[in-house]
Amino acid sequence: MSDVTAGRRAADGRRAQAAGRAGDEGRAPSRPGPQGEISPEEVREHLRRRAVFLRELAEARELRRRVTPHRSRRARIHAALRRRTFRIN
């Protein structure tokens, strides 16, 4: 299991515990945002998870570009056409 999967499962467990607290029946679980306070640790954890996600997304895009060159070629051709369309003479 990757660190990302383990982190997601731990976060899901924390959310489930928060939703099941006494006195919270009938209300939606509180969400961080304008109405809730977010601790610095939660901010760091969120930013770390986001960085991991963006890194994996970039890796997946790079892999897709290498594995399917026709898509890459098509994307280059379309980008060139877009640049040509907006060229000022």
Q: Taking 70 as the threshold, does the pLDDT of residue 22 lie above it?
A: no
**Position 15 in a domain:** no
| Spacing of C-alpha 53 from chain mean position | 5
**Bridge partner residues of 36 (DSSP):** 33
**Position 2 in a domain:** no
**Position 13 in a domain:** no
**Position 61 in a domain:** yes
**Position 24 in a domain:** no
**Position 26 in a domain:** no
**Position 71 in a domain:** yes
Closest by CA position to 45, among listed 13, 10, 18: 10
Inter-residue contact 69 to 63 (CB < 8 Å): no
Q: How many domains does the chain have?
A: 1
What the block records as the tokens of 5 is 């999967």
**Position 79 in a domain:** yes
Q: Which residue has the higher pLDDT, 79 or 26?
A: 79
Range of the domain at 88: 48-89
Residues 34-85: tens digit of each pLDDT: 547 889 999 999 999 999 999 999 999 999 888 877 777 888 899 898 888 7
